[in-house]
Each structure stands twice: as C-alpha cells, then as structure tokens.
Amino acid sequence: MKFLGRALACAAVAAAMLTTPLVAAPAMAAQGGAAAAAADGKVVVCKYVTTPGVGEVLQTGENPIEVSVEALGAGFAGTFPYVFSDAQVNSVAIGFVGEGLDITDCPGFQPPQPQSEPLYETRDSSFCTEPLDGTRTLLVEERSGTRTYAWDGDSWEPQDTWGEWTEKSRTTVPDAACAADVVAIPALFGAAPQPPTCDTAGALPALVTLQNVTLSWDRPFDGPGTYTVTATVAEGYMFPDGSTVRTREFTVAGALGYQSDDPEAPCFREDESPVPVVLTPPSTPPTTTTTTTTSATVSQPAAGTTADSALAVTGSTGVTPLLPIAGAVALLLGIGAAAFASIRRRA
C-alpha cells in the first residue's frame, strides 16, 4: 500500500511538469513572432494620395503596405511613427510587420459613413378632460425621424432629425379630481327687459357681479333692438347642464306712443288739434288823421335890452277819430272769448 501511494504522488508531479510548458507556449510564440518580424526587416507604411501637402487622404486599395526597413534610411532608430520618404508628405511608417497593424491604425483614417437609420418613438400624457366632466384623458403620441451621421474629425457622430408629434390614441377614464364645481345659471337669464311706456323706450336689465360667472352684452345699449347676453364660468366651474358658456337674446321695444282712437287702450289721449281762429277786419276803415305843426321863430333881444316876450306857438288843424279804433278792439276781444269758450267745452 505504501508503494502504491508513492507511485501515485510521483505520477502527479510528473504530470505537473509536463503541463507547465504547454501553458506558457502562446506567450513565448508571440515574442518569437515579433522578434522574427523585426529580424525580417519590414515595416508597415501608410500611403496617401492627392496633391502633396494639400488635403492628402489615405490611398484606397492596398493600404498600408509593407516595405523594407532600409527604405526608411539610415536615420531610423526603430521608433514609430517615422516619416516615409516618397512623393507625398504624410506617408508614414507606423510599425513592424507582424504587429497586427491595418489601415485603421493609419493617421487620418476615416471609417465609412454609416447608413442612415429610421427612428420612431412614442410618449404618454394625461390631463383632465375639458370642459371638466369628471374624466381624465389618456393620450399617446408618436413621431418618426431619421438618424444620419456626420464626421467630426475623429468619428462619425449621429445627427437625429424628428418630425412632429401626432396623436396615436386617446382614451378617457373616470377621475373625481377632474370634476368641475357647478354654479347656478344667472337669474338674468330668466328676466325680461324693462317694458316701454307711452313716450319712453324699453331698457335692458342691469348686469350684476356674480362669483365665478362673467356676464357681458354683445354691444352697448343704443336704443330699441335685439341684444345678446353671454354668461361664462370661471375655470374649474360649469353650469348644471355641463356647459361653460350660455347665451340669451333680449328684445327691447320702442316707446308705445299716444293714440286717440280707443279710450280703453293704453296711451289714449284726445285729439288736441288747435281750432283755427279767423280775425275779421272792421268794415269801416279808420279815418286817416293829418296833423300840421307850425313853428314860430323867437328873436333874441340884443344884449342889455329888455324886449317883449316872444313865444313859439304850436297848434294843430286836425282831430284824431277814436271811435273806429275802439270798435276794432272790442271786436277782437269778443272773437277771442268765443274761441276760448269753445276750447274749454271740447276739453
């Protein structure tokens, strides 16, 4: 038994010794490959085209290329990158052959532009339904776009362009928080305009200030006609029928005016047309009176002398008749009294 145990232990040690070189083999092989590449004396060179020194770009096709290390000249000391002398300015050696270098390691490499891509997204929102009715609206919107790519000097950066949001679906669900407070319909909507009188037109009822309701006429009052009043509730309120705006028309009538045909009808008044008065001139025309005035000149006595008084004498040679004038006045007074009595009887 002791012999068997020793045999197994020796076998385990031998197995460990055999496996150790196998694990280290890849690293040793890599080191050997790099050394062999350097020993081959070849380097990787990135080639450029177009006008030397002006907008040079990497050559398409086979690029980079492999050249002898001797092509770098005597000044090459094994450090990269190193200028490669050719007709271009930017051509450069970037490493030894065998180091896994390719065009993506060349300075100025620009990968191909990615293809544009379609974009699509949705968004959800919710809000109380207007006008407030105790429900909430659930809205789903969608939009489409396109993603393109722009080179920023180091990589292709995505550029997204989106269209407008459009409605995809809309549903409503009960929500007590979205119920509006109810306000009563203004009493004005049951009122009537002020009626007209015989000589005055009607009028609109007066607007009153209400809480959470605004009243307004469609225009200022300008006389008889039809007017519209509008009642608008404040935000968060509604009328009992669920509406937020109500209107009503009022018709204002003009003055009734007076009438003299029907004593039983409103605004009756007897005809008050004046009775014409005819004045009859006297049958005998008045006598024309002529008055003649005679003047006498008074002589002024000389200074210091006394003279007989001399007076101017005035006289008349006609007499004015008074009887015809008195008769005309009496006639006029009689006619006026008769007319006044007639008017009093009609009244």
Using one digit for the tens of pLDDT, what is the confidence trace for 197-218?
999 999 999 988 889 999 999 9
Position 7 pLDDT exceeds 80: no
Position 179 pLDDT exceeds 60: yes
Higher-pLDDT residue of 166, 151: 166
> C-alpha angle with apex 27: 18 to 15, nearest 5 degrees?
10
340: confidence class by pLDDT, cuts 50, 70, 90 = low
Q: What is the pTM of this model?
A: 0.37
Q: Give the model's pLDDT for residue 39.
A: 44
Mean pLDDT of 258-284: 76
Q: Give the model's pLDDT for residue 10.
A: 37
Question: What would you report as the CA-atom Rg of the chain, rounded to the nearest whole angstrom?
Answer: 65
| % of the chain with per-residue pLDDT over 70 | 67
Q: Give the model's pLDDT for residue 195.
A: 94
Higher-pLDDT residue of 143, 190: 143
CA pair distance 182, 188, nearest whole angstrom: 17
Position 14 pLDDT exceeds 60: no
300: confidence class by pLDDT, cuts 50, 70, 90 = very low
Mean pLDDT of 82-97: 87
Position 150 pLDDT exceeds 60: yes
Q: Give the model's pLDDT for residue 312.
A: 40
Mean pLDDT of 21-36: 38
| Average of per-residue pLDDT values in the chain | 76
